[in-house]
Amino acid sequence: MSDQPSRDFPPPVRPSAGPRGAGTTAGLTAPTTDTPGPAAPVNDRPPDVPGYLLAEEVGRGGMGVVYRARDRAFGRDVAVKLLQDQYPAGGVAARRFLDEARITGQLQHPGVPAAYQTGTLSDGRPFLAMKLIKGRTLDDLIRASRTSALRTSSQYSRGCARRSGTPTPTGSSTAT
C-alpha cells in the first residue's frame, strides 16, 4: 500500500487504441479525427467539477475517465465521467462525448446507468454525472477467472484432479 494520500491519482494515460474503450459506445461510432495533444503534466488531484466532489478514479477508457464522486446537492455517491484532458474541448471527441451522454440520458434499461447531469469544466471539457454502479469491475472478473483457470490447470498438472474423477486402488487414473 502506498504512503501517499488517497487524493493522489495516477498521471493521465495516452490512449493507444483511439476512442474505443471502456465506457464508450465502442463499435457504434466512426473513428475520431481528434488526435491527443501532448501528455498532460502530472496532476496530483482530479479537476474541479461544478456540484461534485471527486474522489478516486474508478475507470479509464480511450477518451474518458470515470471518478467516484459526491453529489453536493443531494448528498449521494455518483460516477462522474469526463473527457481526458489531452482532447480539445471543442473537438470531435468532445462532441461525440456529449452525443453519448445525450443518448445515455434517453435510455431506460436496468443495464444502463441513469444519467443525472451533463456540464462543462472550467477548461471547456464536458462531463457526465450518472448513477454509480457498485460491485466488481469487468477487469476484476476477468482477472479472477484467469486466476481460477490457472489454479485448475496447476491442479491438473500436479495430478490432483483426474479426468474421470475416481482414483484406482494404486492411485493412478481410470481415465477411459
pLDDT tens figures, 54-84: 999 999 998 999 999 999 999 999 999 999 9
Q: pTM of this prediction? A: 0.60
Residue 50 clears pLDDT 50, i.e. is over it: yes
Distance in angstroms (rounded) separating the CA atoms of residues 96 and 28: 11
- Which residues are bridge partners to 49 per DSSP? 52
Instruction: For the chain, report the end-to-end CA distance as a whole number of angstroms.
Output: 50
Q: What pLDDT sits at residue 89?
A: 92
Q: Average pLDDT, whole number, for the chain?
A: 75
Give the architecture-level CATH label for domain 1-135: 2-Layer Sandwich (3.30)
Q: What is the mean pLDDT of residues 133-140?
A: 83
- Mean pLDDT, residues 21-47 taken together: 49
Of 56 and 137, the one with more pLDDT: 56
Rounded mean pLDDT, 148-160: 67
pLDDT at 76: 96
pLDDT of residue 137: 78
pLDDT reading at 35 higher than 90: no
What are the structural domain ranges in the chain?
Answer: 1-135
CA angle 74-49-11, nearest 5°?
Answer: 130
Task: Specify the range with the lowest mean pLDDT, choosing from 30-44, 109-123, 159-173.
Answer: 30-44
